[in-house]
């Protein structure tokens, strides 16, 4: 059974720092991996989608990498801002058309 783990569970940084969020999954046979952002009491915002054949994806200050063989993904946030404060969720899809399996998330707090 696929399990997704995110480390750390919480992170507090001052504004301007670069940071890395980690995600690991137990079964390397994934179809794709997605990173989401969730603000308190709100739904999910998709940040980046990485197909199993890809190594990384970039969007603005965000860069996500995927090492499928080792079951790891990282989300790199450059020059963090207070508006980046949220919970970041990592999720994997085992087979095309099946549901996402989520990690518990990393709650990020960026202070000004």
Partner 1 sequence: GAVVSQHPSWVICKSGTSVKIECRSLDFQATTMFWYRQFPKQSLMLMATSNEGSKATYEQGVEKDKFLINHASLTLSTLTVTSAHPEDSSFYICSASRNLDEQFFGPGTRLTVL
Which burial class, exposed, middle or buried, applies to 10 when counting CB atoms under 10 A from its CB (0-12, 13-18, 19+)? exposed
What is the nearest approach in angstroms of partner 1 to the Cβ of residue 13?
21
How many C-alpha atoms does 59 have within 13 Å on its Cβ side? 10
- For residue 4, how many other CB atoms are within 10 A of its CB? 23
Residue 26 or residue 79: which is nearer to partner 1 going by CB? Answer: 26
**Among 9, 4, 14, which Cα is nearest to 109's?**
14
Report if residue 57 touches partner 1, rule: CB under 8 A: no
| The token pair that represents 7 in the structure block | 């480390």
What is the nearest approach in angstroms of partner 1 to the Cβ of residue 108?
15
Report if residue 100 touches partner 1, rule: CB under 8 A: yes
Report if residue 105 touches partner 1, rule: CB under 8 A: yes
| The token pair that represents 39 in the structure block | 């603000």
Site string for partner 1, 15-54 (x = CB under 8 A): ----------------xx-x-x----xxxx-x--x-x---
In the 8-state DSSP scheme, what is residue 30? -
Residue 43 or residue 112: which is nearer to partner 1 going by CB? Answer: 43
Give the interface with partner 1 as residue ranges (CB under 8 A): 31-32, 34, 36, 41-44, 46, 49, 51, 89, 91, 93, 96-105
């Amino acid at each position: 059974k696929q399990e997704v783990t995110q480390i750390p569970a919480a992170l507090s940084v001052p504004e301007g720092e670069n940071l890395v969020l980690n995600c690991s999954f137990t079964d390397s046979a994934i179809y794709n991996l997605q990173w989401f952002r969730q603000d308190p009491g709100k739904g999910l915002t998709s940040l980046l989608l990485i197909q199993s054949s890809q190594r990384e994806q970039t969007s603005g200050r965000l860069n996500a990498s995927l090492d499928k063989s080792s079951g790891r993904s990282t989300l790199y946030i450059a020059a963090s801002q207070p508006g980046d404060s949220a919970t970041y969720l990592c999720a994997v899809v085992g087979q095309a058309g099946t549901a996402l399996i989520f990690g518990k998330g990393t709650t990020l707090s960026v202070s000004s």
